[in-house]
Amino acid sequence: MRKRLIAGNWKLNGNWALCEQFVDAFASLPAASLEAIKQQADVVICPTAVYLSRFDALIQSTSSILQLGAQDVSTESQGAYTGEIAASMLAESGAGFGIAGHSERRHRFAETDQQVVQKMQNLFAANVLPIVCVGEPIEQREAGSAESFIEAQLLPIATAVAEHGLAERPMAIAYEPIWAVGTGKSATPEQAQSMHAFIRSVMARFMDADSLRIIYGGSVTPENATALMAMADIDGALIGGASLDPEQFVALASV
């Protein structure tokens, strides 16, 4: 049985007041609801890195069920790399999870597969659970080559996991079709399930993929989340827009 992973990616949004609102929103739930959420899911917020330490202190002092993740990580671990943040620093700041290879990093910042793999390895080395993202552009989906595109993104990830003895370590894959990110046009539960099952079959060539969490991202809302998460291979969600609203995020964590 895979524990669900519900992660909010705030991207370049939010501020300290929003961090406090999220802690308050969960704290105001009845104890039984909080316990039910905690049993079924890891509920993670990925704010910009500057808020991690303070957010973590607030979470600890209020015994919140929230956990923290980083949106990105450096390919380097130390040295003359102005502006970069190492995985060990994110871990020290309270991040238990770290996103690598989000489509916005791959496309807007021209990140390569090789860099994504390095980021994943750095997260593993710092004991930060990697959430590695894959997702096809609309052209591949329309051309019927979405699976081969995703397989090509997965192979460097899976190969590195196998070659570096990481196959037993917990990680997650996020399937975020680019055409569904921020568009309001989510994949259908059937489209997402079909790709998740394919991702599991590819990863199973390199590891025991039964325990691998594969989460869906792309215009997830409280309205479509129930049907998506009812699918056999959808183990949670990576949420952008709807994760900025405490009420909606609480609803998503409670699905």
CA distances from 97 to 136, 145, 179, 193 (A): 23, 31, 25, 24
Give me the sign of the Cα torsion angle 154, 47, 236, 97: positive
Q: Give the bridge partners for 98, in sequence order.
A: 70, 130
- Decide if 107 is catalytic: no
Q: How far is the CB of 220 from ligand 13P (least distance, A)?
A: 5
Residues 178-217 contacting ligand 13P, CB under 6 A:
181-182, 217
Q: Which residue is nearest to ligand 13P (CB)?
A: 240
Tell me: does residue 98 bind ligand 13P (CB under 6 A): no
The answer to whether the CB of 181 falls within 8 A of the CB of 219 is yes
Residue among 144 and 184 whose Cβ is closer to ligand 13P? 184
Q: How far is the CB of 241 from ligand 13P (least distance, A)?
A: 3
Tell me: does residue 111 bind ligand 13P (CB under 6 A): no
Tell me: does residue 9 bind ligand 13P (CB under 6 A): yes
Q: How far is the CB of 176 from ligand 13P (least distance, A)?
A: 5
Q: How far is the CB of 255 from ligand 13P (least distance, A)?
A: 15
Query: Catalytic: which of 102, 104, 111, 196?
Result: 102
Tell me: does residue 94 bind ligand 13P (CB under 6 A): no
Task: Choose, by CB under 6 A, the member of 41, 192, 212, 239 that binds ligand 13P.
Answer: 239
Binding site for ligand 13P (CB under 6 A): 9, 102, 176, 181-182, 217-220, 238-242
